[in-house]
Homo-oligomer: A and B are copies of this chain.
Amino acid sequence: MTDGAGGKTIDVAVFGAGRIGRIHAANLARQPGVRLKYVVDVNRDAAAALAAQHGAQVADIDGAIGDASVGATVICSSTDTHADLILKSAAQRKHVFCEKPVDLTLERARACADAVAKAGVVCMIGFQRRFDPTFAAVKARIDAGEIGTPEMLVVTSRDPGAPPVEYIKHSGGIFKDMLIHDFDIFRWILDDEADTLHATGSCLSDPAIADAGDIDSTAVTIRTKRGRLCQINTARRAAYGYDQRFEVLGSDGMLQAGNVRPTEVVAYSKTAVSSDVPEAFFLERYRAAYALEIAHFFAAVTQGKPVRTTVADGLKALELAEAATRSWRAGRAVKLDGAA
């Protein structure tokens, strides 16, 4: 199939018809030269509904990946399926966009990295925060030298509420499930790698989370190879909503990336001057980021350019999440190294 401009249209198979799958499907359907051909989900009704919405077909995994006309797969299914789908996609030389994390184990994640390298396909990991207009503007302004040398990063990352305990049990723990995004932000913003990492935490919102062997509040400190410092504070529950901020102190100034509000209304009452709470959760907060990352992926595929968030970035973030888990469990700082 060809697009209007005479270029080749890329047919795409989307795996997973849940919340994030629906967002990626809608965004990719809007890309010129991209066609949603298949939707795959163990929940056939969900797959059928999403496929119908975009004039696509329902397929099973092999049917979708086996179709020679499919140029790319977009993997939004549950975490435990990511590695298999990446490996199968690579085997069939499909380009891959995969939600984070690559896998919950470093071993399998590395196998994925090897496979896509060998196949010579693009493999982009869905660290959408790098595409958030506010976060990306901070990065660009740092790179332009506005604050001199970046020296200290403080990341605040809080969810509006904890997911069901059943989810938490299979999540790989808060460091792999939630902070993996913050670890990626850390590497991207400071443009440096961790030398030592210290993590601690508590379960403060719901004892069931502790019973599941996890925590809901964390405090992580990373010292980089170049001596830069990073502190990350995370909570599963912020009563006021989804809180996604960071600030970077540099030798010549500071840049802050703030929350986004639904409206710019300010209300003056007898007791307070008030504005909106932040956007409710990631689907709202990162709406623009999701659209931009999908556009970036297909532009990279089409133009043969590198992607901003590679499978190597996925591996590095996973290494940090593993190190944080070890540090928290052992109650001591840990050293990161090549072998990690």
* A219 and B156 alpha carbons, distance in the complex (Å): 15
Given that A196-B200, A255-B267, A263-B134 are contacting pairs, would A240 and B273 also be in contact in the complex, using a CB cutoff of 8 Å?
yes
One of B233, B273, B331 near A229 (C-beta < 8 A):
B233
**A272-B276 contact in complex given A151-B217, A219-B231, A249-B238, C-beta closer than 8 Å:** yes
User: Which B residues are CB-close (under 8 A) to A264?
Assistant: 134, 257-260
Residues of chain B lying within 8 A (CB to CB) of residue A52: 4
Which of B151, B152, B231, B239 makes the CB contact (< 8 A) with A251?
A: B239
Q: How many residues of A contact B (CB 8 A)?
A: 73
B229 touches A267 (CB 8 A): no
Does A202 lie within 8 Å of B219, measured CB to CB? no
Given A196-B200, A233-B229, CB of A252 within 8 Å of CB of B274: no
Contact segment of A35-43, A107-115, A220-228: A220-228
Write out, one digit per residue, whether chain A residues 230-274 have a CB within 8 A of any chain B CB (1) or not (0): 110101011110010000011111111111101111111111111
- The 5 A-B residue pairs with the shortest CB-CB distance in the complex, in nearest-first order: A240-B268, A258-B264, A272-B274, A202-B227, A254-B268
Judged by a CB distance under 8 angstroms, whether A81 is at the interface is no
Let me know if B277 and A266 touch, CB within 8 A.
no
Of all chain B residues, the one with the shortest Cβ separation from A216 is B151
Q: Mark A190-211, 1 if CB is under 8 A from B, else 0.
A: 0000001010111111000000
> A134-B265, A151-B217 known; A272 and B270 CB under 8 Å?
no
Residues from chain B with Cβ under 8 Å of A251 in the complex: 204-205, 237, 239
- Segment 272-293 of A: residues with Cβ below 8 Å from B: 272-278
Task: Give Cα distance in the complex from A257 to B146, angstroms.
Answer: 26
Q: In the complex, how many angstroms separate the beta carbon of A332 from the nearest chain B beta carbon?
A: 6
| CB-nearest residue of chain B to A255 | B267
Tell me if A223 and B219 are in contact (CB < 8 A): yes
Contact B217 A202 (CB under 8 A): no
**A4 proximity list for chain B (CB < 8 A):** 52
- Residues on the B chain within 8 Å of A260, using CB: 264
Residue A307 at the B interface, CB < 8 A? no
Interface membership of A119, Cβ < 8 A? no
Residues of B within 8 A of A91 (CB): none
Within 8 Å of chain B (Cβ to Cβ): is A137? yes
A154 within 8 A of B: yes
**In the bound complex, do residue B271 and residue A277 qualify as a contact, i.e. CB atoms below 8 Å apart?**
yes
15 contacts between A and B (CB under 8 A): A134-B263, A137-B262, A152-B233, A154-B233, A158-B249, A201-B229, A202-B227, A203-B227, A204-B227, A221-B231, A238-B268, A239-B269, A258-B264, A258-B266, A272-B277
